Chains A and B, each alone.
Chain A
Amino acid sequence: MKELVIISGKGGTGKTSVCASLAVLSGKCVIADCDVDAADLHLVLSPQVQQRESFTAGKRARIKTGHCIARGKCEELCRFDAIHFDGPGNGKVARTFRVDPLACEGCGVCAWYCAENAIEFAPVVSGEWFISETRCGPMAHAKLGIAESNSGKLVSIVRQNARKLAEDRGLDLILIDGSPGIGCPVIASITGATLVLIVTEPTPSGLHDLERVAELTRHFGIPAGVCVNKWDLNADVTETIEHKAAERGLHVFGRVRYDKRFTQAQIRSKAVVEQADDGSAEDLGALWNNLSHHLR
């Protein structure tokens, strides 16, 4: 089983559009959208959801107002500034403590040390995951709840689901759409993968972010290569990027030219390669050939 992860460092370089086209070109594969806090791949692949489950990762503290005697141990021990002395009165005290759910890190120290047992520390649902069918194969995806954390854990669940789908269906390739950046969800998306494709763009930001994301793949020892999207917007920067990539031992898998049909295809819920077979679609075909050859 092979896992190809598409990431970018910088956002908006065309990761998801490239991923959708590769899914189509692969004939059939398992698709995993690991950009769980801003997932977009479903807008192109229109998955039919077969199974949905809630995602419960961490716990969160909540002060039971009837019990709080405003001793303040919770506020003293909380390192995340999540406890504020502005809760409603409860008959025992005029003012109680309150947990800011957005700031609560879910460490449980407050609940552990509350002598009155006034803090509920219970699991919270922080998202949902799905198993779906698409025209390109089965898909594992998820939606992180609004203002929730634990995206790394949700990414790991999506990857597990994708692996199981691949086993059950006898499919050899899992195509993973990752998230921008180099933090926890990205690390969770790439660890143990077969190959990482970094999609970048010919701008100073694209180059800068590629270097950091390439350092990340090196740090975790994962083979990686690059593809410059919209390469013809600045051929010089594209050259520089490909040169630096090669210096870092990254494989250059291809270039995709700038094409307004990327947006038009998106508006029609299609992959670019479903809308055309020339221009950028031709580039994407060549990219897929190189990748599949490399994965073989």
Chain B
Amino acid sequence: MRIAVASGKGGTGKTTVATNLAHVAALGGRAVTYADCDVEEPNGHLFLKPQWQERRVVTRPIPQVDETKCTHCGRCSEICQFNAIAPLGTTVLVYAELCHGCGGCMLVCPTGAITEIDREIGTVETGTAGPVQFVRGVLHVGEPMSPPLIHQVKLASTQTDLTILDAPPGTSCPVIEAVRGSDFVLLVTEPTPFGLNDLKLAVEMTRAMHLPMGIVINRCDTGDRQTVDYCQTNRLPILAELPDDRRIAEAYSRGTLACTAVPAYRKVFEDLLARLTRNAQPAAATPAASKRSRP
């Protein structure tokens, strides 16, 4: 079972929920992987404190032009939708950071002047945090495109029966990539106008992806009633409500898991996990679980 923890708004407690869930699942004897898909700003390691075992560089293909074979016909720039390759005078410019790695230019080049080379975009790092299998991606600073790296994080986290994916904030391509192929999406929000606005966007996104979802309302005693009303009106199951607890905030500020700092929270997250397990029916072979050769 693959559970994606996402949120729309940042800072609502995704990482807190994801790390604690992985922790209690492992304590309960389940084989579990925590996968940090927030490759722009991965934070799960600050709480689960893994022992690293392997670090692998992730690349994506970009074109390389052999100018001795190039006839400057311009077909490469014609097929490229991303303005990543352009003949200029007697040379061909490649804008690597704009390239999506579709391979179109190489296919279309009539003289075979284009081959592909690997461009590093980040790393996938694996280890163990006690009984929890730990995987994370770290995007190189300055690299704009994270989805191909997120995809590699997902491929590296298929060893256990249960995988908790910690998604990035927002609702655009990095989140879509993180959430795609999950069996269930857990949306973590806070009951404020910003939290609710972004929750609605995240709910629409999850619906567009035809995935089942549930809600966690964090700091549920702050803000107003509107988030609960919205969930009820839209029949979104609220799977947990976590209070604004100073002990948890302090534990967070020390890099300690809520369950470890305040043992009473172990039960809270065990209950959440049990509800998740009941709500999430593993989907039959979803398209995203099939073969894929994303660059």
Question: Residues 8-45 of chain A: 1 if any B CB is under 8 Å from the residue's CB, otherwise 0?
Answer: 11111100100000000000000000000110100100
Taking A81-B288, A203-B253, A219-B141 as known contacts, 17 extra A-B pairs with beta carbons closer than 8 A to each other, sorted by chain A number, are A38-B9, A38-B170, A38-B197, A58-B81, A77-B107, A81-B293, A105-B102, A109-B103, A151-B172, A179-B170, A181-B41, A181-B169, A187-B142, A201-B11, A205-B15, A215-B141, A234-B250
Please indicate the chain B residues that have their CB under 8 angstroms from the CB of A234 in the complex. 250, 253
Question: Residues 123-145 of chain B: 1 if any A CB is under 8 Å from the residue's CB, otherwise 0?
Answer: 00000000000000001011111
Please indicate the chain A residues that have their CB under 8 angstroms from the CB of B201 in the complex. 37-38, 146
Q: Is the CB of A212 within 8 A of B81?
A: no
Q: Is the CB of A108 within 8 A of B81?
A: yes
**B108 in the interface, Cβ–Cβ < 8 Å?**
yes
Q: Is the CB of B9 within 8 A of A12?
A: yes
In whole Å, how far is B187's beta carbon from the nearest beta carbon of chain A? 12
Question: Residues 164-206 of chain B: 1 if any A CB is under 8 Å from the residue's CB, otherwise 0?
Answer: 0000111111101000100000000000111001100100110
12 A-B residue pairings within 8 Å (CB atoms): A11-B9, A12-B169, A38-B201, A79-B295, A107-B104, A147-B208, A183-B146, A186-B40, A205-B46, A209-B43, A234-B250, A267-B192
Please indicate the chain A residues that have their CB under 8 angstroms from the CB of B108 in the complex. 112
In whole Å, how far is A260's beta carbon from the nearest beta carbon of chain B? 8
Please indicate the chain B residues that have their CB under 8 angstroms from the CB of A37 in the complex. 170-172, 201
Please indicate the chain B residues that have their CB under 8 angstroms from the CB of A9 in the complex. 41
With contact pairs A151-B172, A208-B43 given, residues A216 and B142 touching in the complex (Cβ less than 8 Å): yes
CA distance A79 to B170 in the complex (A): 25
Q: Which of A105, A181, A219 contacts B142, CB < 8 Å?
A: A219
Please indicate the chain B residues that have their CB under 8 angstroms from the CB of A109 in the complex. 79, 102-104, 107
Q: Which of A59, A79, A151, A269 contacts B81, CB < 8 Å?
A: A59
Please indicate the chain B residues that have their CB under 8 angstroms from the CB of A80 in the complex. 102, 294
In whole Å, how far is B283's beta carbon from the nearest beta carbon of chain A? 15
Q: Is the CB of B209 within 8 A of A147?
A: yes
CA distance A63 to B180 in the complex (A): 22
Number of interface residues of B (CB under 8 A): 65
CA distance A37 to B8 in the complex (A): 8
Please indicate the chain A residues that have their CB under 8 angstroms from the CB of B173 in the complex. 149, 151
Q: Is the CB of A187 within 8 A of B194?
A: no
In whole Å, how far is B7's beta carbon from the nearest beta carbon of chain A? 8
Using a CB-CB cutoff of 8 Å, which residues 214-261 of chain A contact chain B? 215-216, 219-220, 233-234, 237, 260
In whole Å, how far is A117's beta carbon from the nearest beta carbon of chain B? 16
- Which of A81, A108, A205, A234 gathers the greatest number of chain B CB atoms within 10 Å? A205
CA distance A59 to B80 in the complex (A): 12
Q: Which A-chain residue is minimally distant from B143 (CB atoms)?
A: A183
Please indicate the chain A residues that have their CB under 8 angstroms from the CB of B56 in the complex. none
CA distance A8 to B11 in the complex (A): 11
**A193 in the interface, Cβ–Cβ < 8 Å?**
no
Please indicate the chain B residues that have their CB under 8 angstroms from the CB of A260 in the complex. 222
Q: Is the CB of A79 within 8 A of B101?
A: yes
Q: Which B-chain residue is minimally distant from A105 (CB atoms)?
A: B100
3 cross-chain pairs, A with B, having the tightest CB-CB distances, nearest first: A11-B10, A12-B11, A107-B102
CA distance A61 to B294 in the complex (A): 17
Please indicate the chain A residues that have their CB under 8 angstroms from the CB of B174 in the complex. 181, 183
Q: Is the CB of A182 within 8 A of B222?
A: no
Chain B interface helix/strand/loop/mixed: loop
- Which of B101, B193, B293, B295 gathers the greatest number of chain A CB atoms within 10 Å? B193
Q: Is the CB of A269 within 8 A of B193?
A: yes
Question: Residues 74-104 of chain A: 1 if any B CB is under 8 Å from the residue's CB, otherwise 0?
Answer: 0001011100100000000000000010110
**A138 in the interface, Cβ–Cβ < 8 Å?**
no
CA distance A148 to B175 in the complex (A): 10
CA distance A238 to B83 in the complex (A): 43
Please indicate the chain A residues that have their CB under 8 angstroms from the CB of B9 in the complex. 11-12, 38, 40
In whole Å, how far is A215's beta carbon from the nearest beta carbon of chain B? 4
Q: Which A-chain residue is minimally distant from B103 (CB atoms)?
A: A79
Q: Is the CB of A208 within 8 A of B41?
A: yes
**B120 in the interface, Cβ–Cβ < 8 Å?**
no
**B236 in the interface, Cβ–Cβ < 8 Å?**
no
CA distance A148 to B204 in the complex (A): 12
Q: Which B-chain residue is minimally distant from A41 (CB atoms)?
A: B194
Q: Which of A40, A58, A149, A216 contacts B198, CB < 8 Å?
A: A40
With contact pairs A79-B294, A152-B144, A180-B10 given, residues A203 and B252 touching in the complex (Cβ less than 8 Å): yes
In whole Å, how far is A12's beta carbon from the nearest beta carbon of chain B? 1
Q: Which of A112, A147, A182 contacts B41, CB < 8 Å?
A: A182
**A263 in the interface, Cβ–Cβ < 8 Å?**
yes
Please indicate the chain A residues that have their CB under 8 angstroms from the CB of B192 in the complex. 263, 266-267
Please indicate the chain A residues that have their CB under 8 angstroms from the CB of B142 in the complex. 187, 216, 219-220
Q: Is the CB of A81 within 8 A of B169?
A: no
In whole Å, how far is B106's beta carbon from the nearest beta carbon of chain A? 10
**B67 in the interface, Cβ–Cβ < 8 Å?**
no
CA distance A267 to B194 in the complex (A): 9
Please indicate the chain B residues that have their CB under 8 angstroms from the CB of A215 in the complex. 141
**A144 in the interface, Cβ–Cβ < 8 Å?**
yes
**B287 in the interface, Cβ–Cβ < 8 Å?**
yes
